């Protein structure tokens, strides 16, 4: 692949790197095509238990849409391009396995929308994050108006979207937009260590927990609790649950197989 790099580390962990550093890792149509092809493969790969998404270089995680590419587009083509970005980002959120955004530099516009679709966000310190679309007389169109308020609250989301002013990593941490802030040298190691800890746990249990959390947020507490109960029922007959009990009794590390 020309615009993304994918490698498997530590057996169960995949790292996706956006590979357009000369264009701040912007989401071109070609890059989106490669991402969707990769997601097709990952969805069929039962050995992957956690994914990390990051960007090439040290300046940008992702600057969002490729605006140079848009200059020659008609209005209808722009609408379709935005829809394609949104659909691709939606796929990130819907992947069964947890996804960690390792934000190695600025995450603006669609780049932050991509990070918002991930389950966990770790960012380098001294960088900027923001939904800056209104400064270009457009609005966030790949989930930003929906995921940002759900993440940091309505008032702060409106402040950031209306003003189009990026915030520092420090403020992002205070707002719970990101979960961790580390220096450049620590970023990937921090993400991999967390991914390893996730991959060590029962993969079916992690997947069902993700499903219960994400779907439960969109409904009432009562219905969410029922979703949780139904998800819990699904782990009861699994071999992994029995392995977990045996490993606990024998004081050893469990060897989960996703069965």
Selecting among 110, 141, 143, 202, the annotated active-site residue is 110
Q: Which one is catalytic: 26, 65, 115, 172?
A: 65
The crossing angle, in degrees rounded to 10, of helices 144-152 and 110-117 is 60
Mark whether 65 is an active-site residue: yes
Q: Is 123 a catalytic residue?
A: no
How many alpha carbons fall within 13 Å on the CB side of residue 144?
31
Mind giving me the DSSP string for 57-89? SSSEEE--B-HHHHTT--HHHHHHHHHHHHHHH
C-alpha distances out from residue 62 to 65, 108, 131, 168, 179, Å: 9, 7, 12, 16, 18
Residue 212 to residue 115: CA distance in whole angstroms:
20
113 is catalytic: yes
**Exactly one of 113, 117, 199, 212 is catalytic; which is it?**
113
Among the listed residues 23, 101, 111, 133, the single catalytic one is 133
Active site residues: 65, 110, 113, 133
């Amino acid at each position: 692949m020309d615009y993304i790099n994918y490698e498997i580390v530590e057996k169960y962990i995949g790292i996706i790197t956006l590979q357009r550093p000369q264009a701040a890792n912007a989401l071109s149509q070609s890059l989106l095509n490669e991402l969707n092809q990769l997601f097709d493969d990952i969805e069929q790969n039962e050995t992957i238990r956690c994914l990390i998404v990051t960007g090439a270089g040290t300046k940008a995680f992702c600057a969002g849409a490729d605006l140079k590419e848009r200059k020659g587009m008609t209005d209808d083509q722009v609408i379709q391009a935005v829809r394609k970005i949104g659909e691709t980002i939606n796929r990130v959120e819907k992947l069964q396995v947890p996804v960690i955004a390792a934000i190695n530099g600025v995450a603006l516009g669609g780049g932050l929308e991509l990070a918002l679709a991930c389950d966990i966000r770790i960012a380098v310190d001294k960088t900027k994050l923001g939904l800056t679309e209104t400064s270009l007389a457009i609005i966030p169109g790949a989930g930003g108006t929906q995921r940002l308020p759900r993440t940091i609250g309505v008032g702060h989301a409106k402040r950031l979207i209306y003003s189009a002013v990026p915030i520092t990593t420090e403020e992002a941490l205070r707002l719970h937009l990101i979960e961790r802030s580390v220096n450049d040298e620590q970023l990937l190691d921090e993400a991999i260590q967390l991914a390893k800890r996730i991959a060590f746990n029962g993969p079916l249990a992690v997947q069902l927990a993700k499903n219960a959390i994400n779907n439960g947020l969109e409904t009432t507490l009562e219905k969410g609790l029922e979703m949780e109960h139904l998800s819990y029922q699904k782990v009861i007959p699994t071999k992994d649950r029995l392995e977990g009990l045996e490993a606990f009794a024998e004081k050893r590390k469990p060897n989960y197989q996703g069965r």
